[in-house]
Amino acid sequence: MQEFFMTAGAAQGKRFVDPVFSVLGAAREAIAKYGKDQVVNASIGTIYDDEEKLAYFPAVSELIKSLPPEQVVDYAPIGGIAGFDQAVLDFAFGKSKPDSYLAAIATPGGTGAIRNVFYNYADAGTKILLPDWLWGAYNLIAGEYGRLVDNYQLFTEKHTYNLPSVQAKVKECLREQDNLVVVFNTPAHNPTGFSLSKNEWEATLSFFKEEAKDSSKRIILLIDVAYMDYAGEPEEIREFFSLLTQLPENLLVTIAFSMSKSFLVYGLRCGALIGVSSSQRVIDEFMAVNAYSTRSNWSNVTTLPQRIMVQVAGDAALMEEINQVRASYRRLMADRASIFVREAQQVNLEICPYKAGFFISIPMDNAKEVANRLQQERIFAVPLKKGLRLAVCSIPTGKMAGLAGSIKKAMEK
Ligand SMILES: Cc1ncc(COP(=O)(O)O)c(C=O)c1O
């Protein structure tokens, strides 16, 4: 039978099954049937404490309750409420603010920031360069707007950062097109927990500066820092930002900042797109096009989380209280991950280079099969194209021991 479409053009046949939420559904069914203690839910990318309760910052929750309605229910201006942009720039860069022209505009989460870069800086029908290990939504966002994608290999065979692959792919794309958006998701990459070091950033930036010597090209780096605040000591992991200076005018750095993880307010849908350039006119254009995109897509961004950002930025004690709790969750995930990494070594299970953060990935070709076998043992992890993703953010410490061995066995079956 011929398919019938009510939809028009590119929307025809548009459909997707979220791999995370389908595994999560299966995990929840198993919990209902066998009880929480009998199930390892390694699927969801939100932090759960060791009692398997969703983590949040009590100080943020108290602040929400204390805000007068008129500060919450009103529309926010298109660019964000007064002080939001500065609060984001101060928080995101810390002591490593680049010596460049900077701007920030509110977006609905990091997702909105990514959407705006893909739409405004990559032409329809041209390629956006993504890492091969990646957050799947990049592909969906690109597809929604008719942008094509290509991938650089994030790792060498020795599990180190593969700058030569980035270089080869960038050169290849720039032979075919004049505008190129290149995505980096670091520090604490989803789904591997990898982070580029400051030296690796130095080498990467000097390559891009060299490529930008061809003035007919426009190169846009999108650094997705969604998990930055769980990647290490806050000031240390921000140090690479100070390298974003003396950029050629045709090399723009954009940063997708997300409050979802940094302030544990995933559902409040707030983040920002930050622009870094050595050219004022590039930044003026950045604000103009992104304000237009805001108005035409979501009109303006939710006021409440912006208010939280501004209040916290203006209250050192409140900020410190949140920083302390955030650091405790970072240590919790590091402890969980260290159990897995140690046991993986003991059982000879190859894993992607994990440095920090919410996820660990195990490379394999048949992740779906392995994930199904693990589900029979009530272990629920997300199969990806290149491997299996384990969300250490949601597995209580007490359930980490033995997981590496179970995965190894499921791979050998
Ligand atoms: C790599 C990565 N980037 C960005 C985001 C965007 O998150 P949000 O839109 O909630 O800020 C996520 C969320 O899971 C993510 O995993």
Last residue of a domain, one of 263, 295, 315: 315
Domain boundary among 315, 349, 369: 315
CA angle 345, 346, 352 (to 5 degrees): 20
Q: Tell which of 272, 298, 315 closes a domain.
A: 315
Ligand 1 atom closest to Cα of residue 135: 1
Considering the entire predicted model, what is its pTM?
Answer: 0.97
DSSP letter at 242 equals: G
The pLDDT, as a whole number, for residue 277 is 98
Is residue 156 assigned to a domain? yes
Task: Report the C-alpha gap between 290 and 400 in whole angstroms.
Answer: 43
d(CA 253, CA 182): 10
Whether 384 contacts 191, CB under 8 Å: yes
Query: Is 271 part of a structural domain of the chain?
Result: yes
Ligand 1, from 44, 116, 190, 265: best to mutate by most atoms within 8 Å of Cβ? 190
Task: Say which residue the tokens 């004690």 belong to.
Answer: 317
Same structural domain, 215 and 180: yes
Query: Could you read off the pLDDT of 139-167 as tens digits, one per residue?
Result: 999 999 999 999 999 999 999 999 999 99
CA of 289 to the centre of ligand 1 (A): 22
Are 262 and 360 contained in the same domain? no
Q: Which of 6-15, 203-212, 331-340, 392-401 has the lowest mean pLDDT?
A: 6-15
> Which one-letter DSSP state was computed for residue 272?
E
pLDDT on residue 10? 87
**Under 8 Å between Cβ of 237 and 258:** no
Question: What confidence score (pLDDT) does residue 20 get?
Answer: 87
Q: Are residues 252 and 160 in the same domain?
A: yes
Query: Confidence band (pLDDT; 50, 70, 90) for 17?
Result: confident
Domain assignment present for residue 41? The answer is yes
Return the residue whose CA atom lies nearest to atom 7 of ligand 1: 110
Q: pLDDT per residue over 59-74, tens digit each?
A: 999 999 999 999 999 9
Under DSSP, the state recorded for 217 is -
Does residue 404 share a domain with residue 376? yes
Among residues 47, 50, 44, 46, the alpha carbon closest in space to that of 22 is found at 44
Least confident of 12-21, 174-183, 185-194, 316-325: 12-21
Closest protein CA for atom 3 of ligand 1: 226
Cite the beta strand spans of 123-259 per DSSP E.
127-131, 148-152, 179-185, 218-224, 251-258
Q: Does the CA dihedral 127-129-133-137 come out positive or negative?
A: negative
Residue 63 resides in a domain: no
User: Before 69, cis peptide (omega within 30)?
Assistant: no
Domain-embedded: residue 150: yes
- 338 and 238 in a single domain? The answer is no
Q: Whose CA is nearest to atom 13 of ligand 1?
A: 226
- Mean pLDDT value across the chain: 97
What does the alpha-carbon distance between residue 205 and residue 186 come to, in Å, rounded to a whole number?
14
Do the domain assignments include residue 167?
A: yes
Q: What is the CATH number of the domain that holds 327?
A: 3.90.1150.10
Same domain, 303 and 331: no
Q: What is the number of structural domains in the chain?
A: 2
Label the pairing between strands 179-185 and 271-277: unpaired
* Residue reference for tokens 């580029």: 196
Asked if 291 and 366 sit in the same domain, the reply is no
Residues 248 and 343 in one domain: no
DSSP character at residue 231: S
Q: How far is the CA of 19 from the centre of ligand 1 (A)?
A: 15
Q: What's the confidence (pLDDT) of residue 1?
A: 65
Shared domain for 323 and 298, answered yes or no, is no
Q: Is residue 292 part of a domain?
A: yes
Least confident of 2-6, 110-114, 117-121, 207-211: 2-6
Question: For residue range 306-326, what is the model confidence (pLDDT) as tens digits?
Answer: 999 999 999 999 999 999 999
Q: Which atom of ligand 1 is nearest to the CA of 224?
A: 3
Provide residues with CB under 6 Å of ligand 1.
45, 109-111, 135, 185, 190, 224, 226, 258, 260, 266, 271
Same-domain status, 192 and 221: yes
Residues 6+ apart with CB under 8 A from 85: 79, 103, 104, 105, 106, 272
Clarify whether residues 326 and 226 are in a common domain.
Answer: no
Question: Domain range holding 36?
Answer: 9-57+319-412
Non-local (6+) Cβ contacts of 143 within 8 A are none
**Together in a domain, 140 and 262:** yes
Three-class DSSP category at 183: strand
Task: Tell whether 62 is covered by a domain.
Answer: no
Q: Whose CA is nearest to atom 14 of ligand 1?
A: 45
Q: What CATH number should be reported for the domain holding residue 83? A: 3.40.640.10
> What pLDDT band is residue 16 in, cutting at 50, 70 and 90?
confident
pLDDT in tens, 353-388: 999 999 999 999 999 999 999 999 999 999 999 999
